[in-house]
Amino acid sequence: MSNGIDWGVHLPHLGRNVSRESLTHFAQTLEQTGLHSAWVSDHVCWPSEIESKYPYTDDGSFAPSPDMAWLDPLGTLLFVAGITEKLRLGTTVLILPYRQPVVTAKQLATLDVLSGGRVILGAGIGWMREEAEILGMPWDNRGQRSDEQLALFHTLFNDAEPEFSGKYYQIPKVGFEPKPIQSPFPIWIGGASEAAFRRAAEYGTGFHAAFQPLDLVVEEFTKVRAYAETRQRDPSELTLSLRLYLDPAGVMEPSKSIAGGQQAMQDRVGELADAGIHHILLDPVARGGIEGRLDAICDFMQNVA
Domains contained in the chain, CATH given? 6-303 (3.20.20.30)
How many other C-beta atoms can be found within 10 angstroms of the C-beta atom of residue 107? 18
Tell me the β-bridge partners of 84. none
Spatial neighbors of 234 by CB under 8 A, at least 6 apart, are: 228
Is the Cα torsion angle 121, 267, 291, 46 positive or negative in sign? positive
2: pLDDT strictly greater than 70: no
The confidence band for 60, taking pLDDT boundaries of 50, 70 and 90, is confident
Mean of the pLDDT values across residues 202-208?
A: 98
* pTM for the whole structure: 0.96
Spatial neighbors of 112 by CB under 8 A, at least 6 apart, are: 118, 119, 180, 181, 182, 185
- Cβ atoms of residues 18 and 12 within 8 Å: yes
Peptide bond before residue 285 is cis, with ω within 30 degrees of 0: no
- Cβ atoms of residues 65 and 45 within 8 Å: no
The confidence band for 17, taking pLDDT boundaries of 50, 70 and 90, is confident
Q: Measure the N-to-C terminal CA separation of the chain; round to a whole number of Å.
A: 7
- Nearest alpha-carbon partner for 187 in 157, 164, 162: 157
- Nearest alpha-carbon partner for 279 in 269, 290, 267, 264: 269
Q: CA-CA distance, 207 to 189, in Å (whole number)?
A: 5
- Cβ atoms of residues 174 and 101 within 8 Å: no
* pLDDT value of residue 77: 98
63: pLDDT strictly greater than 80: no
271, HSE (Cβ side, Cα atoms, 13 Å): 16
Q: Provide the pairing of β-strand 170-171 with 164-165.
A: antiparallel
Looking at every residue in the chain, the average pLDDT score rounds to: 96
- Nearest alpha-carbon partner for 38 in 3, 73, 2, 1: 73
215: pLDDT strictly greater than 50: yes
89, HSE (Cβ side, Cα atoms, 13 Å): 29
Rounded (10°) angle between helices 194-203 and 142-158: 10
The confidence band for 66, taking pLDDT boundaries of 50, 70 and 90, is confident
Mean of the pLDDT values across residues 74-90?
A: 98
Rounded (10°) angle between helices 73-83 and 20-33: 60
Tell me the β-bridge partners of 124. 95
What pLDDT digit, counting tens, does each position of 122-167 carry?
Answer: 999 999 999 999 999 999 999 999 999 999 999 999 999 999 999 9
What pLDDT digit, counting tens, does each position of 243-278 carry?
Answer: 999 999 999 999 999 999 999 999 999 999 999 999
Q: Provide the pairing of β-strand 257-259 with 170-171.
A: unpaired
Mean of the pLDDT values across residues 178-195?
A: 98
56: pLDDT strictly greater than 90: no
